[in-house]
Structure 1
């Protein structure tokens, strides 16, 4: 059985947040740093096991572990190992700011990690520090080099493009991709409850970049079953690939294949939905059957699309809440 909504979309991909804490201060997400607002503790290892089991029983094959910043949890290797050992789960991905990537990566791989996404919003050290609040670019690049030495090649690098901060750095990123075998994904800045003015000043349309890529000989890559929303492109003269995540593009939501669970155990049908549906009482009661019935019922509320084009970002104040 695969989870399906009223529009025929099937969901084989779960984004599972394990904390809303983040130790970076990215200007597009948490410019003032993490502000603790929740008294409730994040999902325990046992609750994470139950969530992964529940979704695997219902057709989920890929789970991405997100935050906040998931590596602030000391038990992250145990979380990866737990998810990787659930029958039916084929891919275990992790999204991280990479703050201690050289230190942690070997342990994550040993635990069962199959795919890694790292955020690098600039290849200029000073600009990177200005965007994130931390001078850690070299650590991230060392982590990528370590991954290559370990033959771990399923790596994607995320960069949020912003007019005032890194909008002029596309040529530098492209030059980097000539010899760097990663997929670099340019993400359109998205409006949230906290960043309205910042969004208005900094949004860059991904469609213009897509047009330039196609004109320069880049070719589309065929999507795989559990892929996320990025449109990927390859070029024979480049070692790396480019992905574009364009939530403001036409029909962006028609290929949606993912659901989200927050670090507090709430189901989010959309990153920009108005509410979360609390699964935690069923997890704590140990009733996966009741949790399954609740999950299937909630899916009937999933809308055909988000409402970003109308300036409505739902209940998402910032992306650290449910991992983007």
Structure 2
């Protein structure tokens, strides 16, 4: 077996995988995947468009929502070429450098989405617990600082991961478990010791989502405590309603992410199609459902979308 290191990585080709056991029917299986991608791309594009165009949506809550939509849009575009290429064209080959690049953006956008969800939790915390200072705390400059800090954090945690993957040696003609490049999946195919890579991957995970998730939980503990102090039941219900969309977004992001990480690290005996289904659920569910949730649950977004659609019909 030929072993290739980073000095001749351009010679190394990986093979992406569709759905194990359903290769003959992949064209038909790709139809729902394609539909989900269309929903994700159109839904998030619509959210970005209405937030940009509607002056009454130029508020911190909607700025963070537009960040979430931009990240979901990027995440979908990151995996769309390889996933549909495998399903439609049997284009399974990908070079190591292209694989590492996709892995960088895939995990980077995932970590950024986690950061945006934390920022949105902070937004709800300030709006409910300290509403009089909301406008002075969440200024446009501070929102920009939050966005830049997420970019810096993403680059800082992903750069060592990428550099140490480049140092690994791989065997020729190795097959990945998914239709895209995932860090744990990639390093497990190394012919050399990958313990440092595994540690770096875990550090990146815990320093981003592992930090963000407890902070979100703490913010909601404080929010619930503040809401319960509201005298009227109508006021309590109104306060909780402003958080429903964000709570849903947190759930559909973290539950598939945690499940996929557990399956990859501890579910080696699970059937291959379980890994594949979990991987695609993790990638597609948040970008597909987030625009739907915010369109249904957020009155201002719903009105803005209806207004845009009516204007298009009148043109």
Bigger RCO (CA 8 Å, 6+ sep): 2
Higher strand share: 1
Higher helix share: 2
Larger Rg: 2
